[in-house]
Each structure stands twice: as C-alpha cells, then as structure tokens.
Structure 1
Amino acid sequence: MERFILKKLLDWKNSPYRKPLILKGVRQVGKTWILKEFGRRCYENTAYFNFDENEEYKQFFETTKDVDRILQNLMLASGQKILPEKTLIIFDEVQDCPKVINSMKYFCENAPQYHVACAGSLLGIALAKPSSFPVGKVNFMQIDPMTFAEFLLANGDENLAQYLEQVDTLEPIPDAFFNPLYEKLKMYYVTGGMPESVLMWTEARDVSAMQEALSGIIGAYERDFAKHPNLSEFPKISMIWKSVPSQLARENKKFIYKVVKEGARAREYEDALQWLVDARLVHKVYRSSAPGLPIAAYDDLSAFKIYLVDVGLLRRLAQLAPTAFGEGNRLFTEFKGALTENFVLQTLITQFEVMPRYWSQNNPPYEVDFLIQRENDIFPVEVKSEANTTSKSMKKFKELFPDKVRLRIRFSLDNLKLDDDVLNIPLFMADQADRLIGLALEQLQK
C-alpha cells in the first residue's frame, strides 16, 4: 500500500532541524507498518523495539538518562545494530512508558545523530497527562485512516488517482472518469480507510473478511476503553461511542447527552467524551457563532457535533449492510447523509491545520455543515449527499456575513463547477479540496 505520509517522513529525515519523532494515530491505522516501511526504504537498517512485547526494555530508561548507555543496552539485549545517521530506531507502544517518552529530550539535546521515531495507539491520552513531557524537544506527526486517493492506489486504480491529481481547471469531470470514481467512492464508504479493511477488499474482494476486520478493530477500541485510569468511566465511554450513529442519524446532528442515556447530564459524561477525543477515536466539531479569526474565539463550547475517526467504522458501528452500496445513491443518503458528512470531515482534517467548526442559528433554523479556515480566510462548507442541490443556509450565511465570505463550498454528487461564488466539488474529489479552493480563488480574482 502507498501512504502519502511517507513523503512527510522523508522531509523529517532530511530536515536540518529534525528532532525525535512522535507518530500519533489510532490503533490499527498503520503506524508500525509505515515506520518499518520508511526504515526499509530510506535507511541502511531499522532497529525496532516494542515495549508491549518486551516490557523488560523499559528498565534501560529508568536507570539512566545517558543515551549511549540506553542504546548499548538495547543493542545487547536485542541483538540489533544501531548506527548514527544510518539506522531508524523505532520505539513502539510507548503510550505506557513515560520514561521512554521523556528520554526523547536527551536524544534531542545530546544525541541528534540518532534518528528516533516513537509510536503508540493511545499516545493522545498519554500526552494529555501532565507528566514530564519533553516540550519543544520532539516533532509530531499524525497518521489518519487512508484517504480516498490512497484507497484508489491500493485498489489498483492508479489512473483515476493520477487523473484527480492533475485536474487544474474548474470544469466538469468527463463521464469516463466521473462514473467509475463515483462507484469507487461507494466502495470506500463501505471499507473506510483502515488498512486491514482496505486490504481485505482490494486484495481478496472478500466482503465478509472486510466486515470481520472492521468488527475486530471496533472490538480492539472497545477493549481500550477499559484503559481509562478511572474505571467508573469505562461504561460511559462505551455508551458515548455506541451513541454516535444515533447522534448522526438525527436531523440536527448536535450532540445531545440524553441520546447517550435518558437523563444524562454533561458534567457526568464530559470526561468520558474527552477521553475519546484525546484518543482521536472521535472528532469534536464546535458550533461557531461567526466566521471570525481566530476561529476558536467564536466557539460555542456548549454546542458541538461528534464524528467517528473513519467512515467505514461508522458504517459498521451503525450496522449498515455493505449491500447498500449496490443501490444507487442509497449509501449517500442513508441515515441522513451522516456517512457523507463523516467522510468529508475526515478529508478536511487531513488538509487543513485548524479543526473545522459548524454554524447554525435557531429562529428560523439554518445550519452550515462546516466552516474551514484556509490561511486567513474562513469558508462555509455544505455537504449534500445527492445531486441538484440548493441551499437556503449558505445563502443566509452570505447575507449575514457578506464581507467575510469570499467563496462558498459545496460537496455533492454534482459535477465540478464554479458557479458565481459557489464551488461545487464532487464528493470523490474531497481530498483535493485545498487545491481546488486555491484554483477557485485565483479565478474569482481575475
């Protein structure tokens, strides 16, 4: 499988300002594979240490802060070779090893000649704890589920992936590309972007193995809930997680604690929800009161929507059968377009540094699905799960904030076009949003 993060890893390797790397990402998103593959492609050799499988290795970090001594001990204990500049040292499953994480400070300060990368499945949780974390001494990188473009490459559709990359005018996509891309997107909604699920589909074309892979991943996440330091939170985390499909199935997708449990109050469930957000198993999108900068200054902290880390996992958790993807647009419209919104959010998160927000008002009711910040502009985004779309909310948003809206963006099953100041992006081009917005802004300035 080809993962685009390999290019970022290569930039890290070659950077004159390189520090030890912490690679964050949920369980089974491909962290270990990507680091080993990077080591194989770009280094003479790789030294791999897994602190879950070899707990005794942790001791080497507890007795000394001397990097050379630590590496000497690791080499002797494992029989692996470590050479400065030529070896990629991988420390895996470090989420329960504060001393290993803390040692990155000494690697950074005293031994910059070593290339070190750390990974772990609940690192977001570990790093949220106020332990002696090596602030400013590490580089961070996030690995997310495979994008639609990566899925196309895994599926053997290099021609389609290549075509999407080279679209440089805002003109309709010819049917010869539009139709197969639309069909492949339906498949992606079913498999999602978790590498194991994608592999079961692209290599074996085995739907039941793919379903099983997704169930296995969900099971692994649910077992992780028990790792919350306060065991009484475990059932709450589980209830919030299982409520996500019901939350998204509602017309107004704002998160409501009562959907989790009758009579539930925010203060009882806040910690459990924060655990899921820190673990990056769910994405929390706040309501914004206006498109101003900084975007966080306009957050309404009492109103937010929750999405899952991956569209395939959402489909599996919602128990939607894969057969839905053979039935026209049904997969896109099934449970109020929630899969489509989840998919679009997934792609926006990988392209824009700032977490998207959404905007709504009550009387009369209007809602813009997402607000994205690109450089110093904020753009309203509407997600439609069908074609031929009109939108009162986008119109209203422009009326209310005429000076702030340079461009409005709609993701739908319509073709690519710039219609006055509305850029319509076909859903299968969501990965290209950043680039297409740039093209649209250039065109509007002419």
Structure 2
Amino acid sequence: MKRNAIADMINWKKDAERKPLVLKGARQVGKTWLMKEFGKNYYKSFVYFNFDEEDTLKSIFEINKNPHRIIEMLSMIVGEKILPEETLVIFDEIQECPEALNTLKYFKEKANEYHIIAAGSLLGTLLAKPKSYPVGMVNLLDIYPLTFDEFLEASDPVLFCYYDSIQKEQQIEEIFHNRLLEAYNNYLIIGGMPECVDSWIKYKDPARVHQIQRELIEVYESDFSKHNGKVNSGRILMVFRSIVSQLAKPNEKFMYGAVREGGRARDFEEAIEWLVSAGMINRVYNVSKMEHPLSAFDKLDQFKLFIFDTGLLKHMAGIDNGAILLKTDYQFKGPLTENYVLQQLRGQFEIEPRYYSNKNSEIDFVLQNSMEIIPVEIKGGEDKSAPSFKRYIADAQPKHALRFSKRGYRKDGAITNIPLYLARKVKDLI
C-alpha cells in the first residue's frame, strides 16, 4: 500500500532543521509499517527497537543521557554501526519507556546528525501532558487510517489513475462516476484500517473484514480498561460506546446525559479529551458565527463526536452491508456520510472543520480556506433539498458553497456539487 504520509516523511528527511520525528495516531493505523517501509526505501539501512518487546532496552535510557553513548550501545545490540544520515533509527512503542521519549531532546541538541523516528500506542495521551515529552524538540506527524484515495490506489490502481487525473470543473463520464461510487460504497463498509483493506484486497470477503473490525473494537476497548491514569477507564468506555446513539439523534450534538442519565460535563469531559488525544474520535465544534477566524467563535460546550474510521463506525452501528450497496435509505445514512466526509477533510485545511447550528438553521460543516469561509452540505444520496444551506447562500453569498452527494460533479447555481468520492480532493477542486 502507498501511504500519503511517506511524502511528509521524505520532506522531514530533507529538512535541514529536522528534529526527531514522532508519529502519533490510534493503534493499528499502520505506524510501524510506515516507519519500516520508510527506512527500507529511503535509507541505506534501518535499525528497529521495540520497547514493549525488549524490556532490557529501557536500562540504556535510564542510565544514559548522552546520545552518542546511546547510539554506541544500540549499535552493539544490533551488531552493526549506526551511521549519521544513512541509518534510520526506529523506536517503537516508545510510551513504554518515558526516558527514551525524553532522550529525543538530547538527540536534537547534541546529535541531530542521527535520523530518529518514534511511535507508540496512545502516545497522543502522553503528548497532551507537556511534562512527559520534550516540548519543541520533536516534529510531530499525525497518522490516520487510509483515506479514500489511498484505499482506491491499493484496491483498484487503474481506476485510481483516472481518479488522480480529475481536474477542477472536469466532466466525469457516467461509467467512471458509477465505478467510483461503487468504490465509495465499498470504502464505507471496509473503512481505512490497514488490516481491513489488506484483507479486502486479498480475499474480497466482507465476513473477514467484519471479523477484523470486531477484533479491533475489542482491542481498543481493552486498551481503555488497561488505562490506569487519572481518567476513569469506565467513563472512557461509556463515551466511546455512546457515540453511535449520539449521532443517531436528530441534531447529533453530544449530550452528556445521553452517556448516563444525569451525566454532567465534569463527569465525562476528561474521558472525551483522552479519546481525542488518543486519536480515537474526531471532535467538531459548533461556531456562533460563520466568520474568519472560525476558531474565535467556537462554542466549547457544543460539539459532535465522530469515530476516527468510518468502517469501524459502520460496524459499531450494526449497519447491514446491503443497506449501503442497494441504494436504500437507512436510519444512520446521514451520520455515516458525515463521518466519511470529515475523515477525508482532516488535514486538508489548516483549520479543522466546524459546524453551525442555531434554533432556525444548521450547516453540516464549515470550512476555512485561508480567509474564506465555505459552507458545506452533506447528502448520503442524490437528494438536494437543504433549506438552511440555501438560505445562508442567499444571505451571505459566499464565493464557494459545497454540496457532497452521489450526484455528478457540477455547478447547481451558486452550489458546487462534489461527488462523495472526491471529498479527499476538495482543496484542489476549489
């Protein structure tokens, strides 16, 4: 599989101001594979150290703070000389050795000629506590599940070539439109977890994918129960399990009382922060005004929570594959489609998407592109009725207004209709 993150890693390697690189993201999104693939293809050699598997490694970092001495000892362990610029040094599951995480600052200060890359499970929850890692001394790179373009390139390289060539305002032939919609439907079912995509490519068996998704959910829930920090693990689990029912409500807004009767913000806000930091959920804030800069208008007590992978959300919601493939309307179609679009939008714009909602109207997502504010309407099918959206366009007359749906790529008056399969290309298309 090709991953878009490799391009970011190549840029990191070339950067003269490079710092040790830390990959963060949920478990099983492909961090270990990425680091090894990068070492194999872009360095003369790489050395791999896993702090979860090799307990004795920890003692090296507990005793030493001198990065040159550490490199000497690591060279002896692997039986080969670690060379500056030429050998990539990989630290995996680094959260198991806080001393190693802390040592990264000494590499930045005293031995930056060595190329160091690190990753770990639930690292985001550690990084959220500034004392536990070297602030300002590392580069951070977020790793997500495969986006639709990565999924398409892995599963149908010929169709991907066509998809990749699509330009702004291009007419998309019906045969390709239908094939890309079919790939989009498959992505809703399979999602972007590397193991699920790999299984789908090898076996084309949805039952296998379903089994992997079930096991992944079990792994994550088991991680919550193992978590023994100050955030109550039971509350983390309750929030995670409530997301499907939260999104099934008419306004989708997260309600603490829907997690547990009488629930309050103080009971669950730390659990939410933990899940966001761990990369398990995406939080979208409501804004009081659709104006630049968007983040100045965040209503911090009003937000929606989405799952970081659409395939896992589809599994958690118990949606039958037939409902997606047979063009039927089903109860959870809107939230699942929004989850998908959000997953594709992440990282495309400097500012994360928001939404707008008041007593009279609702705009599904609001994007900020430089100083421009872009309203976004999301439809799971071909329907195009959206009174709030049209009213806002008539009043504010934005330069761009986007509707994602299963309709073709075209302008409908002031609205640009973008097929759902092009959500990953939206920045290029505007």
Q: Which TM-score bucket, shorter chain as reference? A: over 0.9
Q: Match for 1:352 among 331, 349, 353?
A: 349
Q: Which runs of 5+ in 1 are unaligned?
A: 438-446
CA contact (8 A) 2:126 2:133 kept: no
The number of aligned residues is 430
One-letter code of the match for 1:341?
Answer: E
Name the structure 1 match of 2:387: 392
Whether 1:50 aligns to 2:40 is no
Give distance in 2, aligned partners of 1:294 and 1:228. 37
Q: 1:126-165 alignment to 2 at 5 Å?
A: 126-155=126-155, 157-165=156-164
Give distance in 2, aligned partners of 1:324 and 1:425. 22
Give distance in 2, aligned partners of 1:63 and 1:237. 35
CA contact (8 A) 1:243 1:260 kept: yes
Give distance in 2, aligned partners of 1:13 and 1:306. 35
Q: Percent identity?
A: 43
One-letter code of the match for 1:344?
Answer: V
TM-score scaled by length of structure 1:
0.93
Give distance in 1, aligned partners of 2:175 and 2:391. 36
CA contact (8 A) 1:94 1:100 kept: yes
| 3-state DSSP of counterpart to 1:91 | strand
Q: 1:425-436 alignment to 2 at 5 Å?
A: 425-436=418-429
Name the structure 1 match of 2:338: 341
Cα deviations across residues 37-95 of structure 1 (Å, max 9, x unaligned)? 11111111110000011122122112121111111122223435411111111000012
Name the structure 2 match of 1:311: 310
Give distance in 1, aligned partners of 2:189 and 2:29. 16
One-letter code of the match for 1:351?
Answer: Q
Q: 1:9-28 alignment to 2 at 5 Å?
A: 9-28=9-28
Name the structure 1 match of 2:412: 419
Give distance in 1, aligned partners of 2:368 and 2:325. 36
Q: CA deviation at 1:216?
A: 1.4
| 3-state DSSP of counterpart to 1:350 | coil
CA contact (8 A) 1:289 1:300 kept: yes
Give distance in 2, aligned partners of 1:399 and 1:361. 18
Give distance in 1, aligned partners of 2:328 and 2:95. 42
Name the structure 1 match of 2:296: 297
Distance change in 2, residues 1:257/1:142 (3 Å) = same
Give distance in 2, aligned partners of 1:169 and 1:116. 39
Give distance in 1, aligned partners of 2:385 and 2:374. 17
Name the structure 2 match of 1:111: 111
| 3-state DSSP of counterpart to 1:36 | helix
Whether 1:168 aligns to 2:163 is no
Give distance in 2, aligned partners of 1:242 and 1:343. 19
Give distance in 2, aligned partners of 1:141 and 1:217. 23
Q: CA deviation at 1:260?
A: 1.1
One-letter code of the match for 1:429?
Answer: L
TM-score scaled by length of structure 2:
0.96
One-letter code of the match for 1:269?
Answer: F
Distance change in 2, residues 1:55/1:340 (3 Å) = same
Q: CA deviation at 1:351?
A: 1.2
Give distance in 2, aligned partners of 1:81 and 1:327. 58
Greater than 4 Å deviation, 4+ residue runs: none
Cα deviations across residues 406-425 of structure 1 (Å, max 9, x unaligned)? 21111001110123331110
Whether 1:67 aligns to 2:104 is no
Q: CA deviation at 1:115?
A: 0.6
Q: CA deviation at 1:293?
A: 2.6
Q: Which runs of 5+ in 2 are unaligned?
A: none
CA RMSD of the aligned region, Å?
1.6
Name the structure 2 match of 1:79: 79
Whether 1:375 aligns to 2:370 is yes
Distance change in 2, residues 1:209/1:91 (3 Å) = same
CA contact (8 A) 2:188 2:311 kept: yes
Give distance in 2, aligned partners of 1:88 and 1:325. 44
Name the structure 1 match of 2:247: 248
Name the structure 2 match of 1:443: none
Distance change in 2, residues 1:242/1:80 (3 Å) = farther
CA contact (8 A) 1:250 1:336 kept: no
One-letter code of the match for 2:43?
Answer: Y
Q: CA deviation at 1:167?
A: 1.6
| 3-state DSSP of counterpart to 1:381 | strand
| 3-state DSSP of counterpart to 1:8 | helix
CA contact (8 A) 1:98 1:131 kept: no
